[in-house]
Amino acid sequence: MMKRLSLAVSRLLLLACIAVSGAAYAADVRPGDTPALPILTTLDGKTIHPASLRGKVIVISYFASYCPFCANEAPKLQKLYSRNTDKLIVIGVNIESKDPQQKEKAQQWVRKYQLTHPVTTDFPALERVLGKRQGLPINYVFDKRGMLRRVDVGEIFDEDFDDIARFAQQD
């Protein structure tokens, strides 16, 4: 009897832990969702308010300094941004939040790839809104009203960048 009660209590505690830990993160967003993006702070200390992004296509791009696929995408993201700054913003997000040298690695990344688009280390805040990442790199593309239109997990190709540029130019 005591063993059954102990097992039942253990199961209840396990379920409670799962429920509590799951509450810290949003369910993964899907195209068609309009999540409330958090306020982000860039590496240079500027604040990005979600309201200031309305009217532009938003590309949120997760990267890590150790990711070769992210390294392949970095110059392409910069090119996408520099050619479409009137209609689109790219926000690079370094995901190495458990690394004490995260900010330094992200700054080296910016210098190495000569990035002019904003870069942040606010990965945990975005993860709470967008859900757990399923790979790397990941690109989230939002329309001008903030609706998620596409999620690309893994390296994307030149034609995908062209598609995003065309999407940004639509009125």
Taking only the tens place, the pLDDT of each residue in 19-41 is 333 333 445 788 889 999 999 99
Q: DSSP assignment, residue 153?
A: E
Please tell me the distance from the alpha carbon of residue 57 to that of residue 71, in angstroms, as a whole number: 22
End-to-end CA distance of the chain: 68
For residue 142, give Cα distances in angstroms to 27, 57, 59, 63, 114.
Answer: 17, 6, 6, 18, 24
2 has a pLDDT exceeding 50: no
Query: Average pLDDT of 124-138?
Result: 91
Taking only the tens place, the pLDDT of each residue in 59-113 is 999 999 999 999 999 999 999 999 999 999 999 999 999 999 999 999 999 999 9
